[in-house]
Amino acid sequence: MKVIDPHIHMVSRTTDDYLALAINGIHTITEPAFWAGFDRRGVDGFHDYFHHLTVTEPARAARFNIKHYCWIGLNSKEAENQKLAGEVLRIIPEYLDRPTVLGLGEIGLNKNSRNEINVLEMQLEIAAKRNELVLIHTPHLEDKLKGTRIIMDMVLNEKRIKPSRVLIDHAEEHTIGEIKEKGFWFGLTLYPNSKGSPERAVDAVEAYGSDNICINSSADWSVSDPLATVKCANEMRRRGHPEALIQKVFYENPKAFLSQCPKFKAG
């Protein structure tokens, strides 16, 4: 089967992980800009990181015949430093023009603070002016529902951005219904400790249907699994779901969303 992982952080993974992806049919991936596990000290650090995402990582992936795309944005965890955030936002457009960049992401909220909301508003303005796709990070744990609602209201108030061009990631059982109802795509993240499991993701497919859903690993520098998507596909198979439905969830759906950017070509 073919799999597209629409959210994985390969800058923190090894070449063995790339080989495992290729062997298991994951030949197309997209990598959102994210928090490095520490706060970067200046805008030069973001220049280096965005260069890594747009130049170094696609070349590394190509050694394994994997298509690597990315997203550029300022993660909400680094939005509290408003001076630095302003400097980073000024350099974002030059990287959005690069050939493997699909849009703004992962942008959103972490603690739903005023500074985070301010930075998100500015990044949505960039996306609106440029007609970019948007990949949204939602808060974890107790702040998720509140944060998801704030994010959806902000996007819906920006009439230049269509909900169908926005993927709201890290959705969970208590947010999926509202996300779908408002016309957004939603992402389910297979992350062992803080997000979800293959079993919960398949439960969600069974409860909410297979439309507008993208399942991802979000594999990064913490405890995570770059093969989580194929393991989730196998859980669908174990429950007796047809191969056509499995292919839709793990390949056709992300292909449909990502193909709204003309730069995207699935492997």
43: domain CATH number? Answer: 3.20.20.140
Q: Is the residue at 59 inside a domain? A: yes
pLDDT, position 73:
98
Question: Is the pLDDT reported for residue 54 higher than 80?
Answer: yes
Percent residues over pLDDT 90 in the chain: 95
Q: Is the residue at 175 inside a domain? A: yes
pLDDT, position 195:
72
Q: Is the residue at 207 inside a domain? A: yes
- Residue 185 pLDDT class (50, 70, 90 cuts): very high
pLDDT, position 192:
80
Spatial neighbors of 3 by CB under 8 A, at least 6 apart, are 24, 25, 26, 27, 229, 230, 233, 250, 251
Q: Is the residue at 264 inside a domain? A: no
Q: Is the residue at 267 inside a domain? A: no
Backbone torsion region of residue 76, taken as left when φ is above 0, otherwise alpha when ψ lies between -120 and 50, otherwise beta: alpha
pLDDT, position 148:
98
- Residue 210 pLDDT class (50, 70, 90 cuts): very high
Straight-line distance from the first to the last Cα atom of the chain, in angstroms, rounded to the nearest whole number: 12
Q: Is the residue at 263 inside a domain? A: no
Question: Is the pLDDT reported for residue 196 higher than 90?
Answer: no
How many CB atoms lie under 10 A from the CB of residue 6? 30
Q: What is the pLDDT of residues 131-160, one digit of tens each?
A: 999 999 999 877 999 999 999 999 999 999
Q: 227 lies in which domain range?
A: 3-258
**What average pLDDT does this structure show over 27-42?**
95
- Residue 194 pLDDT class (50, 70, 90 cuts): low
Q: Can you list the pairs that 62-65 forms with residues at least 24 positions away whose Cβ atoms lie under 8 Å?
A: 63/15, 63/18, 64/15, 64/18, 64/19, 64/21, 64/22, 65/22, 65/27, 65/267
Q: Is the residue at 80 inside a domain? A: yes
Question: Is the pLDDT reported for residue 53 higher than 70?
Answer: yes
* Tally of domains within the chain: 1
Q: Is the residue at 265 inside a domain? A: no
pLDDT, position 267:
78
Contact in structure between 202 and 236 (CB atoms under 8 Å): yes
